[in-house]
Amino acid sequence: MGTLCLSGAAVFKAGANKSTALVEADYDYAILQAEALINATSRYNWVDNYATLNVDIKYFLEQLCSDIAGSYLINYDPTTYGNETATIKLDFLRDSIMRGLSILRDKKTQDFINGA
């Protein structure tokens, strides 16, 4: 089980047509990988410091983590969506993920978050 988002948030981002072969352990695994990516990309351990964060920052991290995990769930079997729908969903999530990671890479953002 992850810290930055719950499995329901990742499933929500994946949408109604996610593969029925996926189970709760798969959701949790996707979330843990997303958290590791967020920590490594920003060079800050948001998971270990989660309790000290402002609620608005927690929602931002939840959005980013669920976007990443949701994209993993879609990518598991995109044929369940139809090619065009899967592509649209993945493009939308990719844009959101890139924006979120870009924000976290900025040292000024980290300073702002730590001071919030």
55-112 pLDDT, tens digit per residue, is 999 999 999 999 999 999 999 999 999 879 999 999 999 999 999 999 988 878 777 7
Q: Among all chains, which residue has been given the structure tokens 């047509």?
A: 17
The full set of domain ranges for the chain reads 7-115
CA–CA dist 9, 103 (Å, integer): 21
The overall pTM is greater than 0.85: yes
Separation between Cα atoms, residue 56 and residue 24, nearest integer Å: 27
What Å distances lie between residue 57 and 3, 22, 79, CA to CA? 13, 29, 34
